[in-house]
């Protein structure tokens, strides 16, 4: 694994100082900064080749987008379709009926914690499947609480030592407890909602399609295929189905749901947030290639790397860009832009070169012109106030999601939801 390069300038900082500090550039704003940054992206400031990236404020015919209304219309839909066609695959529009069975609803720890376990059952003419949803919430809340919703890998019992969380016999509890600091999150007034990604698509290999929830859809709507959905899109679909349930639960505030994911599940959280505007906040932690990192920046995990190791994650068309990233018609800053004007947080780790922290930061910066159309302050605005919708942090250490990451995300969520102000 190549070493991390934490001292490399950010995209905006790689502009020559006289240009970067020019008063006229500051007055003209982010769209000019984006255009100027494009001219230097192809240069190798750190020994890494970065191919030119698409300008999100240009339509396919080259005409500019100047207003939020123009972005929110056909441009956004067209861009989402390109991501479906080239990277994530098409998610079917066919509805699969879902029912929810509350298996447990108890208050614990002297009233401090409420635990709910809900079985989601999906039925179609093709079959039946279930997913287990775990909710851990403040026990003394007087009204609906905001939520962090994310998939886990391994089962709900892996996020806590709690013996009351349903688990198959012999399975070790709390294996991923460090990644889910439930006590801290609940003490801050938030609920945690989680499901296992394998309930929706077993994260094994290309042979997992028949075991996934894709089996509930007509045969012509299942993968694998050139533009058929893979595991990432299936996991994203599952997150939206969990949100369907959360919206029905009076304990929870469905208008303040943050969808969160780490690593491969960070990719799924980003795709879910791009597709489903009900998510108020989208959080991608160490999500790398196919997540927040620029694909056209050839650093860390590349398109060939990810398609070779995980051919079940994306649609078949994505493989056409193995070693051909320059030909890719979209890049991840545009995916981040699809979340505007909602909130987006990207977290990196300094020693996680495989996920390319610089590429993650650059993608967030290059999405800023779209957020600016909605009057959202820039990432580094000194006093963003209650309009803050962009967050980035670089945590010391390796590929993981830890308490310092969650502390940053909770504080950002507090700002987004108006719970604290500058």
**Residue 182 DSSP SS3:** helix
Spatial CB neighbours of 244, under 8 Å, sequence gap ≥ 6: 98
Q: Is 263 labeled as catalytic in the residue annotation?
A: yes
Q: Are 147 and 193 in contact (CB under 8 A)?
A: yes
Distances (CA, A) of 230 to 102, 202, 329, 335, 361: 29, 11, 20, 17, 26
User: Which string of DSSP letters, residue by residue, matches 126-144?
Assistant: TEEEEEEEEEEEETT-SS-
Among residues 263, 287, 295, 348, which one is catalytic? 263
Please give the helix or strand (H or E) that residue 348 lies within, else none.
strand 343-349
Among residues 72, 153, 378, 399, which one is catalytic? 399
Q: Are 267 and 336 in contact (CB under 8 A)?
A: no
Question: How far is the C-alpha of 411 from the C-alpha of 404, rounded, in Å?
Answer: 11
Q: Are 180 and 159 in contact (CB under 8 A)?
A: yes
Distances (CA, A) of 347 to 277, 389, 393: 21, 14, 5
Question: How far is the C-alpha of 272 from the C-alpha of 234, rounded, in Å?
Answer: 9
Question: How far is the C-alpha of 378 from the C-alpha of 368, rounded, in Å?
Answer: 6
**Residue 345 DSSP SS3:** strand
Which residues form the catalytic set? Answer: 263, 399
């Amino acid at each position: 694994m190549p070493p991390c390069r934490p001292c490399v300038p950010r995209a905006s900082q790689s502009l020559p100082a006289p240009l970067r500090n020019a008063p006229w550039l500051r007055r003209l704003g982010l769209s000019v900064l984006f255009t100027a940054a494009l001219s230097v992206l192809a240069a190798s400031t750190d020994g890494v080749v970065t191919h030119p990236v698409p300008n999100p404020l240009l339509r396919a015919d080259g005409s500019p987008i100047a207003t939020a209304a123009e972005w929110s219309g056909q441009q956004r839909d067209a861009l989402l379709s390109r991501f479906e066609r080239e990277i994530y695959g098409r998610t079917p529009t066919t509805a699969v009926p879902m029912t929810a069975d509350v298996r447990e609803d108890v208050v614990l720890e002297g009233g401090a914690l409420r635990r709910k376990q809900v079985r989601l059952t999906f039925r179609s003419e093709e079959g039946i499947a279930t997913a287990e949803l775990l909710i851990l919430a403040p026990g003394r809340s007087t009204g609906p609480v905001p939520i962090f919703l994310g998939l886990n890998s391994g089962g709900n019992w892996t996020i806590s030592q709690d013996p009351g969380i349903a688990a198959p016999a012999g399975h070790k509890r709390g294996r991923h407890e460090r990644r889910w600091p439930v006590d801290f999150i609940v003490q801050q007034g938030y609920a945690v909602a989680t499901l296992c990604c394998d309930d929706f698509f077993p994260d094994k290999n290309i042979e997992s399609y028949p075991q996934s929830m894709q089996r509930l859809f007509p045969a012509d709507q299942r993968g694998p295929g050139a533009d058929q959905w893979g595991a990432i899109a299936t996991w994203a679909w599952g997150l939206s189905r969990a949100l369907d349930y959360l919206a029905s639960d009076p304990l929870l505030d469905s208008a303040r749901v943050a969808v969160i994911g780490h690593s491969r599940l960070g990719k799924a959280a980003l795709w879910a947030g791009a597709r489903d505007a009900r998510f108020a906040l989208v959080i991608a932690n160490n999500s790398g290639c196919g997540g927040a990192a620029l694909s056209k920046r050839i650093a860390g995990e590349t398109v060939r790397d990810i398609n070779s190791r995980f051919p079940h994650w994306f649609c078949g068309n994505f493989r056409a860009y193995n070693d051909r990233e320059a030909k890719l018609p979209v890049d991840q800053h545009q995916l981040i832009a699809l979340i505007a004007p909602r909130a987006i947080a990207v977290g990196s780790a300094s020693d996680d070169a495989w996920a390319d922290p610089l590429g993650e930061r650059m993608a967030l910066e290059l999405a800023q012109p779209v957020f600016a159309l909605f009057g959202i302050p820039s990432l580094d605005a000194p006093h963003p106030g209650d309009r803050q919708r962009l967050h980035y942090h670089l945590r010391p250490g390796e590929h993981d999601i830890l308490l310092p990451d969650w502390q940053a995300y909770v504080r950002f969520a507090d700002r987004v939801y108006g719970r604290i102000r500058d």
